[in-house]
Amino acid sequence: MGRVILILLLGLQCLPAQKPLARCTDCHSTSAPPLSLVYRRYLMFDSSKERIRKHMVDFLTAPSKEKSAMPEGMKNRFNPQKHPVFSPSDAQRAVQELIEQEDLIPRIVVPKRRNASKSKED
Ligand code: HEC
């Protein structure tokens, strides 16, 4: 019997952990702005992934109107200071997953030029 319980417990441990972003999408796919829009807004402000990471984690661990990157109208509607607070490690993991999901660089494909030597126009 003990062995069965042990095996069950080990089995549970091996189940894939919930993805960090899963706890965000409940709101962010229904009542809150989609995270891809939020990401683009931060990209406009912060330009680099490192700064986006720092800014978002900073916001998520201690949300405030001053740290918000949302437009005024949205701030008035949603009250950024009431955003759920996350621990630094949860915030880090969720933001990391968001950056990996939204980053455009890996998606850029440079097409090979065909007949490059034959073309006279360019
Ligand atoms: C209870 C619902 C809820 C949950 C859960 C939630 N959010 Fe939000 N989030 C919102 C709302 C509403 C806004 C828009 C208001 C605002 O800007 O804070 C928002 C805004 C944001 C913003 C922009 C903040 C700003 O104002 O600059 C970021 C970044 C963000 N969420 C990330 C996350 C991440 C990452 C998670 C999961 C770890 C998460 N949110 C979980 C409701 C939620």
Average pLDDT, the chain: 87
Q: What is the distance in A from the centroid of ligand 1 to the CA of 49?
A: 18
Of the candidates 58, 56, 31, 23, the one whose C-alpha atom is nearest the C-alpha of residue 42 is 56
94 Ramachandran zone, left/alpha/beta (phi>0; psi -120 to 50): alpha
Which value, to the nearest 10 degrees, does the dihedral of the CA atoms of residues 48, 52, 55, 60 take?
-170
* 94 ligand 1 Cβ < 6 A: yes
- Chain segment 21-39, per-residue pLDDT in tens: 999 999 999 999 999 999 9
Two structure tokens written together for 94: 């969720």
pLDDT confidence of residue 81:
94
Report the C-alpha gap between 26 and 109 in whole angstroms: 32
69 CA: nearest ligand 1 atom: 27
Atom of ligand 1 nearest to the CA of 90: 38
